Amino acid sequence: MNAGNDFDTDNSLKALSRSINRPAITLGAIVLALVLGAMRLPFLEYLRPVGDFYIALLQICVLPFLLATIPLAVRSAMAGGSAPGSLRSLLFWALMMLVAVAAVSVIIPSLFFGYASPDEQMITNIGALLGRSAESVDVEFAIDARHGAEITGAAEFAILSFVPTNIFASLSSNDSVRVLVFAAIFGIGMVLTERQSGPFDFRRFAPYPCSLRLDFRLVQPAGADWYRCSRCAAGGATRFGRIYCADAFCLSISGHRSVAVAGGAAALCVRAARIPRQGLWRLAEAGDAWRLHP
Amino acid sequence: MLSRTKLGVVALALCIALWSLPSVAQSRPEVPRDLRSIVEAKVLSVAVTRFDLPSFHVRGPDGKLLGPEIEMAQQIGRALGVDVEFIDSAESFDTVVDFVAMGRADIGVSKLSQTYNRLKRVRFSEPYVTLRHAFLFNRIAIARAAGGQPPAVVLQKFAGRIGVIAGSAYVDFASRNFPNATVVEARNWDTAIENLLSGRVDVLYRDEFEVRRVLKNKPALNVQLGSAVIVDQNALLSIAICDTCSKLQQFINYHIGMTRGAFTLKGLLNSELGKPVQ
């Protein structure tokens, strides 16, 4: 009964999605938004949170999308032997787009200002836009010669500034270009690693969901070490299992727990990798019990 | 006969002693001006500029002085238990310092930056706000001078014409930080902006607040003018205090410490008292 209801709900959602995602509706919505925006009706301010929410939803997709697709795209291009062609195509389209954007940015203002010379209000609006885009100030510099050398150097090697030194900082600051560069390098690295040690099997990650618990480990009780290690070891004696064991050991001794607990957990891990899986699951259950009732 | 002679000598000595008393009193050094003399006089005299300093102190419609600097001076007066008398006839920032140095005022409050020259003449309190030095520059002039290099490279060793307000700390700062530049002094800030817009100078040199205030109040200027901040040069805005007033300085420093955070760049930029540039 419930399954039937879920099925109906699923179908109705799909039908709704299909009916909304039509070009005519999208274009109609854009036209309506433009008209309403031009009318500057006071109540439109109340719609702002909806728009902000939608934009935020789009923005949160950008970086994960880049991180997920670029390495795989690079990998498939390189693994499929189409890398040189893809690179040529990429460069061609990048140059074409650059020329097109430059041409548009020259031609459109020329045409526009040729017919309508900017008045004071328009200049004020453009200035306000410029002021906002600069956020605070246009240039920052130091009189001290040492800081000056940094500025000059940064300008001369601007391309190097796209290479991320800290990918997490780039992610947190929405620095898409650096994330893109990282993703491309990651994809290339993945292909090169594969060529040396065989194809990369993403399914190997499946038995190790517990790796995601790492971030929370500092607030877990000591029994969680046992729990986590036994869970991981349950996957069998694989390369990732050993890496995880070493990782867990290092984190344990750098955390707030005692070396004895950490050492015991790591030893259990190494040992557990050789124990039959049924036994390991029992250990995991014991770990669960300890975690819940330490 | 002998006793009469002795009596005469004693009387003479007494007369001499009494006669010399006022001269002793006159030769005693004067009590230096400081917190005690101010409390005894029951008045704290405060020098401020004759012109408004938007967001810091301005004259209201009734001619009464308003603004956070005025409030700060009044708070100090209240803490001392004395009245506050404002002397608002100073023609320039330097004149405010002159008034304090010459004894016409006990303290001076007018967005005064500490400089080496001023410190030779008066004391300064701890800064109540620190603002970075900044340039307001003509985009075309700087782009032309840069010749493809980043603007920072040109601005760092600027050798063109720098506009500053006459009698301000930036006259000193400009000649010290940009020795190859020609310093052009303007009567006031509005005149300095006119000089920049008419091309008589290439950049204006003042603090970050004033530079950003200009662009905030008149956004159209963003098209023509750019802003630059000098990250390693700060204007320490402090209260000028009479040179002998060490105790008063301590008192004012304590007050500034207790009210720290009253002045912030954001607060100043959003202040209702920051009237638009004419």
Q: Cβ contact (<8 Å) for A127 and B220?
A: yes
Q: Cβ contact (<8 Å) for B153 and A128?
A: no
| CA-based nearest residue to B99, from B164, B52, B167, B53 | B167
Q: Cβ contact (<8 Å) for A128 and B219?
A: yes
Residue B269 has pLDDT above 90, yes or no: no
Whether the CB-CB separation of B234 and B170 falls below 8 Å is answered with no
| Structure confidence at residue A68 (pLDDT) | 83
- Contact of B277 with chain A, judged by CB distance below 8 Å, is answered with no
The strand ranges marked E within chain A are 139-141
Q: Minimal Cα distance from A138: which residue of B?
A: B227
Q: Minimal Cα distance from B223: which residue of A?
A: A127
pTM of the entire predicted model: 0.58
Euclidean distance between CA atoms A107 and B117, whole angstroms:
55
Preferred mutation among A125, A137, A146, A151 to probe B, highest tally of B CBs within 10 A: A137
| CA-based nearest residue to B254, from B100, B33, B75 | B75
List B204's β-bridge partners, or say none.
Answer: B136, B163
Q: Minimal Cα distance from A131: which residue of B?
A: B222
| Structure confidence at residue A290 (pLDDT) | 47
Q: Cβ contact (<8 Å) for B229 and A126?
A: no
Least confident of A1-15, B46-60, B206-220: A1-15
Average pLDDT over residues B71-83: 95
Euclidean distance between CA atoms B88 and B104, whole angstroms:
11
Q: What Rg value do the Cα atoms of chain A yield, rounded?
A: 28
CB proximity list for A130: less than 8 A, separation 6 or greater: B219, B222, B223
Average pLDDT over residues B97-120: 95
Question: Chain B residues with CB inside 8 Å of A137's CB?
Answer: 134, 208, 211-212, 227-229
Average pLDDT over residues B211-228: 88
Preferred mutation among B156, B206, B207, B209 to probe A, highest tally of A CBs within 10 A: B156
Per-residue pLDDT of chain A (294 residues; tens, 9 = 90+): 455 566 666 677 778 777 878 888 888 988 988 898 888 888 888 888 888 888 888 878 888 888 888 888 887 877 777 777 878 888 899 899 999 998 988 888 777 777 766 677 777 777 777 766 545 688 888 987 666 544 544 444 556 677 888 888 888 877 778 888 888 888 888 778 777 776 656 555 554 444 444 433 433 444 455 555 555 555 444 555 555 555 555 444 444 444 445 555 555 555 555 545 455 455 555 554 544 443
Shortest CB distance from A131 goes to which of B150, B155, B215?
B215
CA distance B260 to chain A (A): 24
Average pLDDT over residues B81-97: 95
Residue B55 has pLDDT above 90, yes or no: yes
Per the model's pLDDT, the better-predicted residue between A221 and B228 turns out to be: B228
Token reading at A62: 């950008």
| Structure confidence at residue B24 (pLDDT) | 46
Residue B161 has pLDDT above 90, yes or no: yes
Average pLDDT over residues B203-213: 94
- For every residue of B135-204, DSSP letters joined together read EEEEHHHHHHHHTTS-HHHHHHT--SEEEEETTSHHHHHHHHH-TTSEEEEESSHHHHHHHHHTTS-SEE
Q: Minimal Cα distance from A140: which residue of B?
A: B229
Own/partner pairs for B253-260, CB < 8 Å, 24+ apart? B253/B125, B253/B126, B255/B72, B255/B75, B255/B76, B255/B79, B256/B125, B256/B126, B256/B127, B256/B128, B257/B126, B259/B72, B259/B75, B259/B128, B260/B128
Whole-number percent of chain B with pLDDT over 90: 68
Shortest CB distance from A127 goes to which of B152, B223, B231?
B223
| Structure confidence at residue A203 (pLDDT) | 57
Per the prediction, chain B carries an average pLDDT of 88
Of the pLDDT bands very low, low, confident and very high (cuts 50, 70, 90), residue B119 is very high
CB proximity list for A142: less than 8 A, separation 6 or greater: A148, A151, B156, B230, B231, B232
Least confident of A80-89, A115-124, B86-95, B245-254: A115-124
Token reading at B18: 């009494």
Of the pLDDT bands very low, low, confident and very high (cuts 50, 70, 90), residue B266 is confident
CA distance A54 to chain B (A): 30
